[in-house]
Each structure stands twice: as structure tokens, then as C-alpha cells.
């Protein structure tokens, strides 16, 4: 493992929170406006394995990290529906950027499970601060009880967004049970071990801490997260997303990025197919892709499948947001259906982007080709633990039978 510590040059300076009058429509329009710029930078992000400071600043300036944040901390108190649509839209330009947004926006809800003291500590001065890390239990980590808190040692991989986050969350055992620890970013070391084939710009590197003191108020039992979130609702009575499930599938945090990336690949193909050719046969010559019946058939299938996946995300995320708005707890069938649909739309996006990749031909083998980037990104996303189709299918059948 390469143990090089990255010298992050994170944006500094405290900004005023986005205007509280920003509407859902305006937020989505801002996401749409960013797509062309993200497309221009996507190959650089893939090559450099990191989104730029400039892009990260733009995400914040647009108000995206305030979508799922309470008004007390400058938040817009929007819904999972807006979160899902913003992630899907941004992924049309760059899935790594969309993923970074989705992770850091979603992790606002993890902060809200902690006492008001912790929420003030994180957002009291700078409402743009974000939380990254890994909530999977590391059984090898050591949390030693000391007066006033714990001394934490361990490392956690796949810390998406940690290039920029000011805070980290880690899951370590305490007396055999997982506990969530909140740690300032400066107390951790970055291990530069993120060299995947896709989603290369998410910065999902390993973060390591050694004998770091974590005060008691920044430590909570993992099993208590749902109960704690319910208790904290009184702190933010107008924020409906406090009534969403945790961890929530209703915002399609990962699947939206997969579908958006496939959507972007389809848009690129449609824009360029009129001038695209392929070698006619082994002896040479060329044919226009737009003249081939098989191209029309395969692309129509792929684009139609992506459209269905988009509509399903929009429908299910809206339903989840409506339940939260009406203060209706999600049933097991609701949760199982959302898990199924997260996996289903990702599976659909993967098949569709692979079809489009095949239509482009050998030119798509260029790692900087937009369809190449999208295909590798969707393939990588499809391996996420929450998108396992067979597990989701088994749980769904159990819920409805």
C-alpha cells in the first residue's frame, strides 16, 4: 500500500449560507447548468483521481450541500427527491462529482443523529462543512476508554469525499458493539490507495487514525442511530427529512449516479452518432453508424431503459419524500421496494451503458472517451454493497409474501 499523505488544498474561508429562498426548481436548474462544465472536466477528473477545488467550491456555492440540512444551520430543508434528482443530473456530466455530492450531502443526516452540541461544533461557524468516512464496522480498530472519551486507532477504506471533508465518521467496536466516532479531518492521515478502474475521482481513499482522542459527546452506538435521529427531530421540527428512514434508500444515493452516468453516455452518443463511423470489415472501408439498423435498434433499447430507470428514481424518491413530509414511518415493504429499485435501476443502467459502449466500437477503448468513462463508472457503482440485486430481491420477496 502506498502510504503517501496527500497535501489537500481545500478551499478556505467562511461563506454565508446560500439564500434561504432558494427553491427546489432553482436548485435543479443550477445542477443542470453545471453539466456542460462537468463534461469538459470529466477526463481530467478520471486521470487525476480527484475532482478539483474549483468544482467542489461550485457545488457548495450552488447550495447542494445545504439540500439536506436544517434551517438552523443555513439549510434549505429540501427532500430526498431533490437530492436524488441533483445527483442524477450531475452524473450526466461526471459521476465522480455526483457521487462526492451525494455522499457528503447524505452524511448530513448522520451528523443530525448526534447531540445539538456536536451539530453546533460542526456547523455553528461554517455551514458548508461536510462529513465523510466509512460507517462499516472495522473489527480490527481499537477504541480504548479513557476519562472523557476514547482513544481511537484504526483505518477505514472507501472514504469517498475525504479529499474535502472537514470531519470524518468511523465505526469501531466498543465492548463488542459498533460505535460511530466523529473525528476532525486534521486528526487523520490519508493513505493514497484509490486506483480503481471507475469512479476514480471520488477520492475514496483509506483514512487512518492513531491514538486520537474522541470526546464522549462525539461517540454513539451504531444500533442507536435510528432512535437518536428520532429524538433529534424536536431540534428541527420543520425539517421533514428527519422522518426518513436511516440509512435511506429513498434518496437513491448511489443508484442515481449510475443512472445519471448512463444518461450522459446516451446523450453523448445521440449528439455524435451523425458524424461517427466504424470500420466496415477486416479489409477496411467505413460505415456511418447512423445508417445502421442495428445501431438504431440497440440505441433505442438502451436509451429507453435509461429513461425508465430515471422515471423510477423520480417516482420512488418522491414517494419517500412524501412519507417523510406526512410524518409516516416507512414500512418494511417500502424499504424492501426501495432497496430492490436501487439495485434494479443500477442493473438497468449497467446493461444500457454497455450496449452504447459496444455501438461506439474500438474508439470507446480510449480511457478519455466519455462513454468509456461512463461505462467504467457504472460498472464500479454496480459493485456497491447496497446495490446487490440478489440480496435486494430476496428481501423484497420476503416483505411482500
DSSP letters, 50-84, are S--HHHHHHHHHTTGGGTTS-GGGT-----HHHHH
Q: Grid coordinates standing for 46? A: 478520471
User: Looking at the structure, do residues 267 and 395 belong to the same domain, yes or no?
Assistant: yes
CB of 342 closer than 8 Å to CB of 350: no
Q: Grid coordinates standing for 23? A: 427553491
In a domain, 144, yes or no: yes
Residue-wise pLDDT for 211-249, tens only, equals 999 999 999 999 999 999 999 999 999 999 999 999 999
- How far apart are the C-alpha atoms of 251 and 245, rounded to whole Å? 10
In a domain, 280, yes or no: yes
Give the 3-state secondary structure of residue 31. helix
In a domain, 119, yes or no: no
User: Looking at the structure, do residues 340 and 299 belong to the same domain, yes or no?
Assistant: yes
**pLDDT of the residue at 6:** 41
In a domain, 93, yes or no: no
In a domain, 263, yes or no: yes
Per the structure, the complete domain to which residue 289 belongs is given by 255-400
**pLDDT of the residue at 8:** 43
**pLDDT of the residue at 5:** 36
- How far apart are the C-alpha atoms of 270 and 291, rounded to whole Å? 13
User: Looking at the structure, do residues 279 and 170 belong to the same domain, yes or no?
Assistant: no
**pLDDT of the residue at 253:** 97
- How far apart are the C-alpha atoms of 53 and 66, rounded to whole Å? 18
**pLDDT of the residue at 13:** 60
Angle of the 24-48 helix axis to the 80-93 helix axis, nearest 10: 40
In a domain, 218, yes or no: yes
Indicate the pairing of strand 131-137 with strand 167-174.
parallel
User: Looking at the structure, do residues 207 and 275 belong to the same domain, yes or no?
Assistant: no
Q: What CATH code is carried by the domain that includes residue 163?
A: 2.40.110.10
Q: Grid coordinates standing for 274? A: 451523425
Q: What CATH code is carried by the domain that includes residue 345?
A: 1.20.140.10
In a domain, 63, yes or no: no
Give the 3-state secondary structure of residue 368. coil
Torsion region of 166: left, alpha or beta (phi above 0 gives left; psi -120 to 50 gives alpha): alpha
- How far apart are the C-alpha atoms of 320 and 143, rounded to whole Å? 36
C-alpha to C-alpha distances, 181 to 82, 138, 147, 212, nearest whole angstrom? 29, 12, 16, 11
* The dihedral sign for the CA sequence 108, 69, 100, 203: negative
Q: Grid coordinates standing for 56? A: 467542489
User: Looking at the structure, do residues 345 and 268 belong to the same domain, yes or no?
Assistant: yes
Residues with Cβ within 8 Å of residue 323, at least 6 apart in sequence: 243, 244, 250, 329, 330, 334
Count of Cβ atoms closer than 10 Å to residue 339 Cβ: 21
User: Looking at the structure, do residues 260 and 394 belong to the same domain, yes or no?
Assistant: yes
The total of structural domains in the chain comes to 2
What are the 10-residue block averages of pLDDT along the chain, 401 residues in total?
39 80 97 98 97 97 98 98 98 98 98 98 97 97 98 98 97 97 98 97 97 98 97 98 95 98 97 86 83 93 98 98 97 98 98 97 92 98 97 98 96
Q: Domain boundary at 203, 224, 245, which?
A: 224
**pLDDT of the residue at 12:** 54
Q: Domain boundary at 173, 205, 224, which?
A: 224
Give the H/E segment covering residue 317: helix 293-325
User: Looking at the structure, do residues 269 and 215 belong to the same domain, yes or no?
Assistant: no
User: Looking at the structure, do residues 164 and 292 belong to the same domain, yes or no?
Assistant: no
User: Looking at the structure, do residues 210 and 290 belong to the same domain, yes or no?
Assistant: no
User: Looking at the structure, do residues 274 and 392 belong to the same domain, yes or no?
Assistant: yes
- How far apart are the C-alpha atoms of 184 and 70, rounded to whole Å? 21
Residues with Cβ within 8 Å of residue 8, at least 6 apart in sequence: 163, 164, 190
**pLDDT of the residue at 367:** 95
Residue-wise pLDDT for 162-175, tens only, equals 999 999 999 999 99
Beta bridge partners of 288: 277
Q: Grid coordinates standing for 126? A: 461554517
User: Looking at the structure, do residues 303 and 366 belong to the same domain, yes or no?
Assistant: yes
In a domain, 122, yes or no: no
- How far apart are the C-alpha atoms of 75 and 192, rounded to whole Å? 32
User: Looking at the structure, do residues 286 and 178 belong to the same domain, yes or no?
Assistant: no
Residues with Cβ within 8 Å of residue 181, at least 6 apart in sequence: 143, 150, 152, 169, 170, 171, 172, 214, 218, 219
Q: Domain boundary at 224, 244, 268, which?
A: 224
Its pTM stands at 0.94
Amino acid at each position: 500500500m502506498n502510504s503517501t499523505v496527500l497535501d489537500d488544498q481545500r478551499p478556505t474561508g467562511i461563506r454565508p449560507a446560500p439564500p434561504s429562498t432558494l427553491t427546489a426548481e432553482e436548485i435543479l436548474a443550477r445542477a443542470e447548468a453545471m453539466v456542460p462544465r462537468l463534461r469538459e472536466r470529466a477526463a481530467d477528473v478520471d486521470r487525476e483521481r480527484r475532482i478539483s477545488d474549483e468544482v467542489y467550491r461550485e457545488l457548495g456555492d450552488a447550495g447542494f450541500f445545504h439540500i439536506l440540512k436544517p434551517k438552523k444551520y443555513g439549510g434549505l430543508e429540501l427532500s430526498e427527491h431533490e437530492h436524488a434528482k441533483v445527483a442524477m443530473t450531475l452524473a450526466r456530466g461526471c459521476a465522480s462529482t455526483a457521487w462526492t455530492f451525494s455522499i457528503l450531502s447524505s452524511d448530513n443526516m448522520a451528523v443530525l443523529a448526534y447531540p445539538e452540541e456536536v451539530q453546533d461544533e460542526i456547523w455553528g461557524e461554517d455551514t458548508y462543512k461536510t462529513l465523510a468516512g466509512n460507517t462499516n464496522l472495522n473489527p480490527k480498530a481499537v477504541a480504548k476508554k479513557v476519562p472523557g472519551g476514547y482513544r481511537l486507532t484504526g483505518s477505514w477504506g472507501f472514504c469517498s469525499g475525504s479529499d474535502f471533508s472537514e470531519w470524518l465518521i468511523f465505526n469501531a467496536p466498543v465492548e463488542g458493539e459498533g460505535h460511530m466516532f466523529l473525528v476532525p479531518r486534521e486528526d487523520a492521515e490519508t493513505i493514497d490507495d484509490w486506483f480503481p478502474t471507475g469512479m476514480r475521482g471520488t477520492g475514496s481513499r483509506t483514512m487512518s487514525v492513531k491514538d486520537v482522542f474522541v470526546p464522549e459527546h462525539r461517540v454513539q452506538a451504531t444500533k442507536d442511530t435510528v432512535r437518536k435521529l428520532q429524538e433529534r427531530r424536536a431540534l428541527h421540527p420543520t425539517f421533514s427529512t428527519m422522518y426518513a428512514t436511516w440509512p435511506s434508500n429513498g434518496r437513491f444515493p448511489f443508484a442515481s449516479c449510475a443512472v445519471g452516468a448512463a444518461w450522459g453516455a446516451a446523450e453523448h452518443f445521440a449528439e455524435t452518432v451523425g458524424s461517427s463511423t466504424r470500420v466496415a470489415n477486416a479489409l477496411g472501408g467505413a460505415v456511418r453508424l447512423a445508417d445502421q439498423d442495428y445501431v438504431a435498434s440497440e440505441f433505442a433499447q438502451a436509451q429507453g431503459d435509461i429513461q425508465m430507470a430515471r422515471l423510477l428514481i423520480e417516482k420512488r424518491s418522491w414517494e419517500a419524500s412524501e412519507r417523510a413530509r406526512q410524518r409516516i414511518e416507512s414500512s418494511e415493504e417500502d424499504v424492501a421496494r426501495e432497496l430492490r429499485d436501487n439495485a434494479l435501476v443500477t442493473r438497468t443502467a449497467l446493461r444500457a451503458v454497455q450496449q452504447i459502449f459496444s455501438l461506439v466500437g474500438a474508439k470507446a477503448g480510449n480511457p478519455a472517451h466519455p462513454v468509456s468513462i461512463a461505462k467504467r463508472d457504472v460498472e464500479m457503482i454496480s459493485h456497491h454493497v447496497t446495490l446487490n440485486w440478489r440480496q435486494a430481491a430476496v428481501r423484497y420477496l420476503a416483505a411482500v409474501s
